[in-house]
A and B are shown apart, each in its own frame.
Chain A
């Protein structure tokens, strides 16, 4: 049956103040059931306080064939890393 159901990408917010992170996907016939499947599949061990589900078909992905032009130009731009700044110890989630 599941092969007939569309795929949904699941995002979980681990706790208040954090951003939602992609954790995986579920099959479900519609958005409401997708949320419940996501709850039962990905938050059964208290992993989250909020859930997003997005139809996988709505995700626009980069083409692996374009890896070169897409990502390689960043390789030698080390000055883009924020490693030249001192970050105070009490700043979390940078």
Chain B
């Protein structure tokens, strides 16, 4: 019996249709990866913005606002790309202002409250050092947008990590009060570090596809850098506590909702507002 000729896959085609589960999965891994990157930068940028007008001096006010704006710039690129990867017509603004707590994919560390200046610097040191090591690797991402944003942003976050190190050293090795505040700030933030190095199914898949990075690979480097700063600051590394995980799956603390209420109020109340 004559059979139908085989149907060749056209040159350049992947062989996967848009409705194939693997194509859908690839898209969702990219979408999730971009959301994690974008939400980390967005939420920390918003936190730093809360200092505007309240910092210990006008110079520090500008330092914090500059860092916040760097981060919100990164978030804009990542979230716009996430919206494009999702393919449902949402852009960065829609993702930033029209999602609720459970849909955010940032780590716990960035949503932690500012506390005093020392607590803010503890958070910045622990996060920016990680983000710098991450972005150095993401410059080699197979996703062009991630690679391009990482290449530009790695200089920004290198500066953030340096500035935070300088302050942690000065506050730790400063007066009795600054030292106590610095140690308290570290103690608050320390339990959120293990989450930064969690390789769940999405992160593992993203690393395997070359769009993400294997964060475990730079854990030792990270620990060494933090230890060096703490040693110069004459501070003790806090005891490892029970890690708090889940931000990447939408499990957040009580602080994120309050942050979003402030951040999202205006575009939600006045959807047509422009400025």
Interface residue ranges, A against B (CB under 8 Å): 1-2, 5, 26-30, 32-33, 36-37, 40-41, 44
* Cβ-defined contact, A36 with B57, below 8 A: no
Interfacial chain A residues near B56, Cβ < 8 Å: 1-2
Give the interface segment out of B20-28, B58-66, B127-135.
B58-66
Nearest chain B residue, comparing its CB with the CB of A29: B170
| CB < 8 Å A-B pair total | 33
B166 near A: Cβ within 8 Å? yes
Q: Which residues of chain A are near B170, meaning CB under 8 Å?
A: 29-30, 33
Given contacts A26-B59, A36-B163, 11 further A-B contacts (CB under 8 A): A2-B56, A2-B57, A5-B57, A28-B59, A29-B170, A30-B170, A37-B59, A37-B60, A40-B66, A41-B58, A44-B62
Contact of A41 among B59, B163, B166, B167 (CB under 8 A): B59
The 7 closest A-B pairs by CB, nearest first: A2-B57, A37-B59, A1-B56, A40-B63, A40-B62, A26-B59, A40-B66
Q: Which of B56, B63, B167, B170 has the most CB of A within 10 A?
A: B63
- Write the nearest CB–CB distance from A5 to chain B, whole angstroms: 7
Question: Contacts of B166 on A, CB cut-off 8 Å?
Answer: 32-33, 36
B233 CB → nearest A CB, Å: 14
**Chain A nearest Cβ from B165, distance in angstroms:** 11
Point out the residues of chain B lying under 8 angstroms from A5, CB to CB. Answer: 57
Measured between alpha carbons, how far is A29 from B170 in the docked complex, in Å? Answer: 9
Q: Determine which residue in B59, B60, B62, B163 has the highest number of CB atoms from chain A within 10 A of its CB, and name it.
A: B59
User: Which of A2, A30, A32 interacts with B59 by CB under 8 Å?
Assistant: A2
**Which residue in chain A gives the minimum CB-CB distance to B64?**
A40
Cβ–Cβ < 8 Å partners of B66 in chain A: 40, 44
CB distance from A13 to the nearest CB of B (A): 19
A29 to B62, CA, bound (A): 16
Contact A41 B62 (CB under 8 A): yes
CB distance from A68 to the nearest CB of B (A): 37
In the assembly, what is the distance between CA of A44 and CA of B65, in Å? 11
Task: Please name the residue on chain A nearest to B66 by beta carbon.
Answer: A40
Closest B-chain residue to A5, C-beta based?
B57
B17 CB to nearest A CB, Å:
48
A88 to B63, CA, bound (A): 44
Q: A33 vs B60: C-alpha distance in the bound complex, in angstroms?
A: 10
Q: Which residues of B (50-76) have their CB < 8 Å from a CB of A?
A: 56-60, 62-63, 66
Sample (6) of A-B pairs whose CB atoms are under 8 Å apart? A2-B57, A26-B59, A27-B59, A37-B60, A37-B62, A41-B59
Q: Please name all residues of chain A whose beta carbon is closer than 8 Å to the beta carbon of B163 when the two chains form the complex.
A: 36
A4 to chain B, nearest CB (A): 10
B59 engages A40 (CB within 8 Å): yes
B257 to A: closest C-beta gap in Å: 31
Bound CA span A36–B62, Å: 11
Contacts of B58 in A (CB 8 A): 2, 41
Contact A27-B57, Cβ < 8 Å, known A32-B166, A36-B163, A36-B166: yes
Query: Which residues, 130 to 180 on B, are CB-close (under 8 Å) to A?
Result: 163, 166-167, 170
